[in-house]
Structure 1
Amino acid sequence: MVYKIDPQADRQYIEEFRRCPIGRHSPGLQRVLHIMRQDPSGNQVILFCRKPFEEWVLATMPPDRRDPIVYEDEPVFTSREEAEWEIFRRRWRLLTGESINLPFRD
């Protein structure tokens, strides 16, 4: 059985991830994250640390892993958690067609 994200039923996990993007997650959020980490196109948005513990940017791994990774110049994140939140938002939009218009933390 191939699992899919159900935007209505799985919406409850958005806030859980926003509160705690790194660490232990509920089984439901773990299922959603597992789905998000498998892009059928082969392109994968990833996190790249430019300066240890200081700067992170997003990048895209191409389907053919021999090709170069494409790095984004902006935005530059000053916390890993905020960068993880942006990846979550992008993957959610890709898989559900819905945008999450919430900042990392209020």
Structure 2
Amino acid sequence: MLVNYADAAHWPIDPTRQDLVEEMRASPRGPHSDDLRKLLHRMRWTGVGKRHVLIVLEPNRRWMLGRLPGRRGAPVETFPNRIFTSLAEAEWAVFVMRWEALTGQRLDDGTPAP
């Protein structure tokens, strides 16, 4: 069940919490602990624009990496070289990019940065 935490968008990210990274790596689609849910909520709602997102190319089959623009109405930046056929792999890739953006620490996901 999705729980909306009022303070989760301001929840501080502790880059030493590698347990949350490993939890996400092991199960990108969930279920997730309370702390990982708060972290994911923070990652999804941080700042305006420039957030990495997944664009559905074929429902339940293919996704492409995208990045939201800095202002409403501008086109979404797409990365045609970053196509995923597994939603779990796609979710993990976005987590890795958001983690680096918020903590300044790069996680090794085995793929080149966009």
TM over 0.5: yes
Q: Deviations over 1:62-97 (max 9, x none)?
A: 132211111111121110110000000000000111
Calculate the TM-score normalised by the size of structure 1.
Answer: 0.86
Q: Which among 79, 83, 106 is matched to residue 72 of structure 1?
A: 79
Between the aligned residues of both structures, percent identity stands at 35
The reply on whether 1:4 has 2:12 as its aligned counterpart is yes
Question: 89-98 or 53-62, which moves further after superposition?
Answer: 53-62
Q: Which amino acid aligns with 2:47?
A: P
Q: 2:3 maps to what in 1?
A: none
Q: How far apart, CA to CA, are the structure 2 residues paired with 1:53 and 1:84? A: 13
2:45 maps to amino acid? Q
TM-score (norm 2): 0.81
| Matched residue, 2:54 | 47
Any stretches of 5+ residues in structure 1 without a counterpart? none
Shift in Å at residue 41 of structure 1?
Answer: 4.2
Equivalent position to 2:70, from 56, 63, 85:
63
The CA distance in 2 between the partners of 1:75 and 1:20, in whole Å, is 21
CA shift in 2, pair 1:102/1:54, >3 Å: same
Structure 1 ranges of 4+ moved more than 6 A = none
Aligned pair count reads 103
